[in-house]
Each structure stands twice: as C-alpha cells, then as structure tokens.
Structure 1
Amino acid sequence: MWLGTKSYWKINSTSLRLSADGSRNPEDSYKLVYLTFFLMGIGSLLPWNFFITAKQYWLYKLSNSTDQNKHSGLGDYFESYLSIASAVPSVLCLILSFFLVNRLSPKVRILSSLVVMLLVFVVTTVLVKVDVSEYRMEFFAGTLVSVAVVSGASNIFCGSMFGISGYFPMRISQAFISGQAMGGTLTVLASIVTLAVSEDVTTNALSYFLIADVFILLCIISFLLLPNYAYSRHYMAAATCVSPGTLNEERSPTGGVPPLQPIIKKAGVLGLCVFYVFFVSISVFPSVSSGIQSMNTDSGSPWATTYFVPLTSFLLYNVADFSGRQVTAWVQTPGPTSRVLPVLVLCRSVMVPLLMFCNYQPRNHLHTVLFPHDVYPVVFNCLLGLSNGYLGTLPMIYGPKVVPRELAEATGVVMSFFLTLGLAVGSAFSVLIVHNI
C-alpha cells in the first residue's frame, strides 16, 4: 500500500541520499550530471523538432515556393507524413531496445544512436543547397526515409537514456524530460533567428541544420564524459551490482529479456496515461496548429505572414511544454496511484476540437471557424503545451520508481514505448483530422 504521495517521495528521496552502508552518496558537483542529462534530453528530441519546425524550407523544396497560399498535395499533408514516418519506426526500435536492455550496454546503444543521428543530419544539411526541383518525389521519399532512420535511432537513444535515469534520484529523470522540452524551444528560437537574419530560405535552412549537427556532436562528447563523474559512477555501479567506474561495461551476454508482467502490473496505468497525453498532442501539433493562419494575412505585416506560425504554433507550445515539465520538479500531484491523474489526462481531449475550429487553412470540408481571432490559437497552444508538459512528465518519472530497482531501466524503456506508441497512433489520427478539415 502507498503511504500517500508526500510520505512516499519523502521516504524515497531520503533513501536515495544514503548508500547501503549508511554513508552519504557523492554530491553532484556543479550539477554536472544534472546538466548532462538535461543536455541529453535536448538531444533526444532534437532531430524531430528540427524536421517539423523547418516548415518554410520543406514547403520550398516540395513546391518551389515559400507562399503558403500555393498548396500542393505534398505540402498540405507533409507534417502528418513526417509524424507517421517518425512514429512507426520509433515504436519498432523501442521494442528492440527493450529486448536489448540486458544484452547491450547503455554506452553501445546510446553512442550508436547518436552517431546515426549525426550522419543523417549531415546528409540533410548537404541536400539543402542541392537543386531537387526535378526530383521532388524522390526528395520527398528520401526525406521520409531519413526521418524514419533518425527517429528510430533517437528513440533507442531516448529510451536508453530515460532507462538509466531511472537508477538516479527523481530529479535526474526530471532533468532529462525537461531537456526534451527545452530542445523544442531552442529549435524554434533557432528557426526564428535564421528567418530574421536572412530572407533566403536555403541559407536559413543551412544555418539551421548546421546547428543541429553541432549539437548532436556535443551530446556525444557529453555522454563520453559522464563516467568521469563520481556521482554517476555511484548510481550506475549500484544499479548494475558492479564496482564503481564500470558505467561503460558490457552487460552479461547471458542476460535474458526483462520480465514484462510485473512492469505492466505496477506501471501499466501510468503507461496508458503517457500514451493518451501524447496521442492528443501529436494529433493536433504540428499538423493542425501549424496550419492555423493569422486573420490579418492580407495586411502583409511580418507578424501575420512570416512570424505568426513560428511564434504561436511552435514557440509558445514548446515554452509552455517546458514550463509544465519544470513545474514537476517542485510539484508532484496527483500521485502515482491517484485516480485524478487519468481523469485529467482524458480531459485533454477537448484540445482537438478547439484547435480544429481555429482559422486553419485551407478548409475544404469543415468550413466553420468558431475561433476567428488570433488570440485563440495563442491560448489553446499554451494550454496544449502546459498540459502536455505536466501530465506527460508525471507518469514518466513515476514509472521507474514504482517497480523494483532492478527493473528500473526496463521500465523506463516501456514508458518510452507507451509515449512513442501514442505518437504513432496520434500521427495517423492527425492525417484524418487534416483531411476532414
């Protein structure tokens, strides 16, 4: 039986500060481990964020125009295609990651994933200055393949990082999850800066993707430095029942598949909460939210024509998402067994019709616009981001803490699987939403 949310976390956090022999655990000097996991959180969703935020670049490549009023079949549904190409291989790779938990070390899984992500982004960067006007379908197909590969790799990376964060105190898991939201915010800021600096869409995209290349390289270097910190060595050594300093050791080749039944029994409801939170979010972001145009586009002002979508759809959502995740560092309520948590998660369903009835364009079937003012998408995107950040983070950090310690890493992968499955199903649903509008 749970002792109550506050009592549980108080006891849990106290036990984490003391090792088995009663001695105090090492301190996280200068918060280097916290910052490393925060940085890894940024890197875990960086590829996805950079792909979906470069809307003007993809529109230009697929239609040879940056005019959002000149629509093509590929351009109208591109965000939904990206979502599907990203989510489906991600689910498969997370299943693979679960089977590899006891067979490959976190070092192998994480570094190999980062290298694959870096290689794909280098190729994407090179293609920015290549004329593909005669090969748009081939470019479109190649882009989706790139998204599939990089998303699969990033989800193995994400699942593995979140899995090992389960061995650390809860604030380390929270750092990783907050970093994911910050990755989206930094991506949008980079996009806005490049838009402001240059009017040439390919020059913007080149600068944009080069930032991603450098950042993934920083993630590789930071992870290689992680075993040098006494704080991380202590928790990883305790988790793997080996002597300190063996963070990079291979797991036993005879290690079997982690038992799934006790994980589902303890964390199944939390996993379903994660699934539904991200299902709702990806159903409307970015496929619907990025299609909502300002009511003042005829004015020709930069706000209405250039910055409205980057600011209202991407920046506000990501800042709100980051804020919601940060709140969980101080407030963890409802608790892991509370019935209020699933109810709040289900209440987010209202966000889908709210955004559908904003000024999304073009409208071929659903002609009614119930929320015509520009303030509506601002408010709705903030609510979508805040609720996604808070209600998505709570079950993610609860999951590895409600199972036995030896199942923490496997539970982290399972929770990531529920998250990615929500993204996959929500991506397919987003296509239906866009089609019906």
Structure 2
Amino acid sequence: MASINTTPLLQEIDSELEENDIHESLAIKDNKPLFKPIEPKDKFYTVYFIFYLLGIVTLLPWNFYVTANDYWMYKFRDTDIHNNTVKGSEVKDKTPLQAEFTSYISVASAVPNLVFLVLNAAIAHRVSANKRILASLLFMLLLMLVTLIFVLIDTDKWQHGFFMITLGIVVLLNVCSAVLSGSVFGIVGNFSPVYITAVIGGQALGGIFAALAEIVSLALGASSTHAALVYFIIGNVTIVISVVLYIVLTKTVFYKYHIEDKFLSISDFGSSSSTTQLVCHSVILKKVWIYGVSMFLVFFFSLSVYPGVTVLIESEGRGSGNKWNDVFFVPTIAYLLFSIGDYVGRITAGRLQQPKNETVVLILSLARFVFIPLMMLCNAQPRHHHWDVVFNKDYEYIIILFLCALSNGYLANLTAILAPRKADDYEKETAAAIMTVFMGIGLALGSTLSLFMVKML
C-alpha cells in the first residue's frame, strides 16, 4: 500500500514569508510521494529475458576464455615434442605455461575488474548508465573480434609473446566487464528480486552454455582451433544481440517505470533544487557492509581454487585410453558441473531468500573456507608433494565441487538481493554498485591466492 502524505495543505503561516519561501519550506519538510502510479506489466517477460542475456554477457569473456581450455593447452603446448595433430588436452605432462595459464588469466581478469568496479561505483551518478553499458559492450565486441583473429594465427614460434598479448586483452576485456557488470547491477537493483535473480542467473547460465559448447565440439572431433573459432564467433554474435536488445530494453514502459521518476511528490510544485537527493557512499556502506563482507568471502574462497586448481584435477582413470577420463572429464566436471551447481544455487536463493539475518549469512559465507583444503586434497596434477592426495576417487571430488558451486551461487545471489533492501529507494543503485565492489575484491584476492595454491600442490 502506498504511504499517505499527512502534511496539512492548509496551516497558519507567517505573513512575512514570501511565496517562494513557502514552497521551499514545504518541499524540504516532506518529500514523500502523494501517490504511486500503477506498475505496468512486463509484456512477454521481455525485460526479464533481456536482463538474463545481460547477465550472460557480463561474464562472457571470462567464460569463453576459461572454458576454451583445450585451445589454450594447444597454443601453449611443447612444440618440440608434440606436432600439430596432438590436442592440448591429450598431453600428459603440462608445460609451465599450460599449468599456470588459468591462474594467470584469473588474476588478469580479477584485478582490473576490481579497479573499474570501484570507479564505476564512483561515477554512477555522473555518467549515465546507457553510455556506460553501450560503450562497454561495443569495446568488448572489438576485443573479442581481435581474439577471434588470433585463433587463425600460428603463434608457435612466439608463445610467450602471445601469452602476454592474451593477458593484455583479458585485462581490457575485464575493464569492459566491470563497467558493464557494475552498471547492470546498479540498474537492476531498482527492480524486484526476480530481475536481480535473472542477472545473476544469467551469469551462471553463461558458464553452462560455454561448457556445453566445449563438450559438443570435442564430441564431434573438432580440432582445438576449430572449436575455439566456434566459441569466439558465438561470443561475438551474442554481444551484438545484447547491444540491440539493450536498446530495446530502454524503450520499454516497464523499464522506464522503475528507472525514471515514479513518484509525484509535493516538491514537484516547489523549487527544482529541492528535488535533488544527494547520495552519500559512506552512509550506504554502513547499511550494507555486512552483506558486502559476505559477498567478498563467497568469491574469495571460490576463486582461490576455481578454476586455477580445479582445472588441474584429473580423473582417477586418466591415461587408460578411455575418452571420459582423458578428454571429457575436465570440461564436464570442472566447468559444466560447477556452472550447473552455481546456477541451481542462484535460482534457489531467488525463491527462498533465507536466511535474512545478515550475521547468519556472514557465518555461512565464512564457513566456505573448508572448500580450499578439500580441493587441494583432490587429485590435482602436476603436484610438488606439498599436499598429499586424499580424495583420489572421482565421486569424492564431484561431491566436493558441486557443494562448493551450490553454496557459491546461493550465497552470492542471497547477498545481492538482500543488500539493496537496506537502502532507501534513491540509494539502491549505489548500494548494488557497492556490492559489486565487494565481489570484485573477492575475485581479485581469490585469483591472486590461486597462483600460490597451484604452486603449493
């Protein structure tokens, strides 16, 4: 029910007050809405679908770069031993570039992501969301086109140079992802939890899509480079579609209702300067910091071992000649299963939204530390004998990985939904942006730690 404005329309006033002073006084005393217009319907769930797609695109570079593991293993293989017909995933002994590439790419993704999530939160009220989102999408498309071109170039004679160029592209891609993610989460914070879940669910669904593409290409017997060519073409097409649909999104009545002014307040009849409500970041931070720390812990613990360590965990039957053990195990378990668990967790949180107590959420997030030693004790190769293999059975690793993914998705979505509720309406976009900063810090520090976790095996 809409709140009722209880300020008397007629009251005694000092005859010495000027008419403008009366208007200004009224505007300052009560800025509550007189009425709230009826919320329009999201016809054909158009806005919901577009938010889902934008969620996929926010992590599209990450998903396509990480999931194309077979392609990177081929690019960084030992060319003195293995000829062009041998796939990277079939190489038993990994080169240093092969073993550490995933961890380096995680750091190259997370650090710029954090920096620009902070900058995005700072400029959220200075640069329009439309400009930020469209600019980041177009620049992301350009960088993905460059990635596509490199698939067709022979880099065998300058692998280290290609390695550095790739990391540079990853840095720039994640600058785009950070601005896009922060802007989209800032916008969707004004909508109901269903739409927040759509964005977060889309992020997880993107991982499932990329993993399925990898598995299908391997099943068809496509070469590493041909598979990568398909991946990055799909990625570019997806970005183009998202640009078009985002423009459509901004034209819908449902979107305008939630983003533009929805209230007609008494201040509309007074001084225009009185309608401005200043956003104080420190005040909002005090309201959401516990949820923010929870968000940080969720991603810090996950990125410490995923995908840097999990991509190195092999099947107990590897080397037996069975395609499941030698070819399909890593893309199916390390990527597809994790993405499915993450997705299920996010969707479940969108429906249950329990627990709501911020302290309980913080404790649950902290308890996820247990997944770091559990993953380290699985059959990750190569090992330097710092940790022994305790969970050498495939089913043990699968259970641990799925629980890690499920809890990651559930708690990430839960904190993203609950945090904006602690803020006032005009603070919700900034509150959501601040939450993405906490997420970025967790991603950056977790990815950095994953470099050391790989060396500690």
Indicate whether the TM-score tops 0.5: yes
What do residues 44-98 of structure 1 show as CA deviations (whole Å, max 9, x unaligned)?
A: 1111011111111111111245134232111111111001101111111112112
Displacement after TM superposition at 1:120 (Å): 0.7
Confirm or deny: 8 A CA contact 2:113 2:178 kept in the other structure: yes
Q: 1:308 to 1:25 in 2, by over 3 A?
A: same
1:410 alignment counterpart: 430
Q: Matched residues in 2 for 1:280 and 1:152: separation?
A: 22
What do residues 215-252 of structure 1 show as CA deviations (whole Å, max 9, x unaligned)?
A: 1111111101002211111111126999xxxxxxxxx9
1:321 alignment counterpart: 342
Q: Which runs of 5+ in 1 are unaligned?
A: 1-10, 13-18, 243-251
Is 1:296 matched with 2:317?
yes
115, 140, 148: which one pairs with 2:138? 115
1:370 alignment counterpart: 390
1:58 alignment counterpart: 72
1:160 alignment counterpart: 183
If you compute each CA radius of gyration, which structure gives the higher value, 1 or 2? Answer: 2
Which stretch of structure 1 is more off in the superposition, 91-100 or 316-325?
91-100
Confirm or deny: 8 A CA contact 2:290 2:359 kept in the other structure: no
Q: Matched residues in 1 for 2:377 and 2:166: separation?
A: 31
Q: Which runs of 5+ in 2 are unaligned?
A: 3-32, 83-87, 266-272
Q: 1:357 to 1:73 in 2, by over 3 A?
A: same
Is 1:282 matched with 2:303?
yes
Q: 1:406 to 1:22 in 2, by over 3 A?
A: closer
1:134 alignment counterpart: 157
Q: 1:241 to 1:197 in 2, by over 3 A?
A: farther
Displacement after TM superposition at 1:30 (Å): 0.9
Confirm or deny: 8 A CA contact 1:239 1:406 kept in the other structure: no
What do residues 300-342 of structure 1 show as CA deviations (whole Å, max 9, x unaligned)?
A: 111001100001110000001000000122101110x342111
Q: Matched residues in 2 for 1:81 and 1:306: separation?
A: 23
1:30 alignment counterpart: 44
Q: 1:158 to 1:329 in 2, by over 3 A?
A: same
Q: Matched residues in 2 for 1:156 and 1:230: separation?
A: 25
Confirm or deny: 8 A CA contact 1:239 1:405 kept in the other structure: no
1:312 alignment counterpart: 333
Q: Matched residues in 1 for 2:196 and 2:174: separation?
A: 21
Q: Matched residues in 1 for 2:437 and 2:444: separation?
A: 10
Q: 1:395 to 1:228 in 2, by over 3 A?
A: same
**Which residue identity lines up with residue 389 of structure 2 in the other structure?**
V
Displacement after TM superposition at 1:258 (Å): 4.1
Confirm or deny: 8 A CA contact 1:275 1:418 kept in the other structure: yes
Confirm or deny: 8 A CA contact 2:37 2:262 kept in the other structure: no
Is 1:349 matched with 2:369?
yes
Displacement after TM superposition at 1:407 (Å): 1.3
Q: Matched residues in 2 for 1:125 and 1:241: separation?
A: 50
* Secondary structure, aligned partner of 1:211: helix
Q: 1:156 to 1:72 in 2, by over 3 A?
A: same
Displacement after TM superposition at 1:24 (Å): 2.2
Q: How does 1:182-201 map to 2 (within 5 A)?
A: 182-201=205-224
Is 1:174 matched with 2:197?
yes
2:408 alignment counterpart: 388
Q: Matched residues in 1 for 2:160 and 2:36: separation?
A: 64
Q: Matched residues in 2 for 1:88 and 1:227: separation?
A: 31
Q: 1:134 to 1:174 in 2, by over 3 A?
A: same
420, 430, 434: which one pairs with 1:400? 420
1:247 alignment counterpart: none
**Which residue identity lines up with residue 137 of structure 1 in the other structure?**
H
Could you say what the CA RMSD is over the residues aligned between the two structures, in angstroms?
A: 2.0
Displacement after TM superposition at 1:174 (Å): 1.3
Which stretch of structure 1 is more off in the superposition, 56-65 or 129-138?
56-65
% identity of equivalent residues: 36
* Secondary structure, aligned partner of 1:433: helix
Q: 1:60 to 1:125 in 2, by over 3 A?
A: same
Confirm or deny: 8 A CA contact 2:350 2:414 kept in the other structure: no
Question: Structure 2 length normalisation: TM-score?
Answer: 0.86
Q: 1:334 to 1:385 in 2, by over 3 A?
A: same
**Which residue identity lines up with residue 358 of structure 1 in the other structure?**
C
Q: Matched residues in 2 for 1:166 and 1:241: separation?
A: 21
1:268 alignment counterpart: 289
Displacement after TM superposition at 1:114 (Å): 0.6
Q: 1:257 to 1:83 in 2, by over 3 A?
A: farther
2:19 alignment counterpart: none
Question: Structure 1 length normalisation: TM-score?
Answer: 0.90
Q: Matched residues in 1 for 2:264 and 2:220: separation?
A: 53
1:217 alignment counterpart: 240
Q: 1:69 to 1:269 in 2, by over 3 A?
A: same
Q: 1:193 to 1:211 in 2, by over 3 A?
A: same
Q: Matched residues in 2 for 1:273 and 1:68: separation?
A: 40
